[in-house]
Structure 1
Amino acid sequence: MDRLETRRLWEERIMIFKASRLSVAKWVKTQDGITEHQVKYWLKKFKREASEVTSSSSKWLPVSVQAENRNEAQTSGVTIDVHGGQGGCFCSFS
């Protein structure tokens, strides 16, 4: 079995495991030849890969704020609200 076939097999196994809603320990008892270590390895691998895709697809944009006059820039507060992401992050700066 080559790497791609192994990966596809484990993608399917992990999907079945998650659908079972069992703990890793209980699920492997229902499977012949699969160990807890293998399941935890592939869960961690897929989670890490998903995280890398998410973080590499994040883009930062430059922001510049210009006041209408010099006094306003020194005395007024600026509020920046940041919304977004799959985690629903909300930040506010003043």
Structure 2
Amino acid sequence: MSNPMMYVVTMAVFTYLIRALPLTLFNKPITNIYVQSFLYYVPYVTLAVMTFPNILYETNSQLAGLAALIVGIILAWKDKSLFQVSIACCLVVLTMEYII
């Protein structure tokens, strides 16, 4: 199976199945509050898992990444917008890397 097109076709089939099976298996709305709660938080957890390691390791210094993470958490906790949080974190990384 060294043919790259086989990999692409296999990926396409499995991606389609992952998206099509829930539509065909679940005909009624989900009423279980625990399942609804779980499904509500899945996108947020997935985004956090994908971005968290990059916050610490994509900078030249892990200390700069950690400082930006702390500033981002504090600003997000204070209900600042995503744009404000991202700009502040970028400025913290630039400042920290300039100092270090």
Pair in the same fold by TM > 0.5? no
Larger Rg: 1
Higher RCO structure (Cα 8 Å, ≥6 apart): 2
TM-score, scaled to structure 1: 0.28
More helix by share: 2
TM-score, scaled to structure 2: 0.26
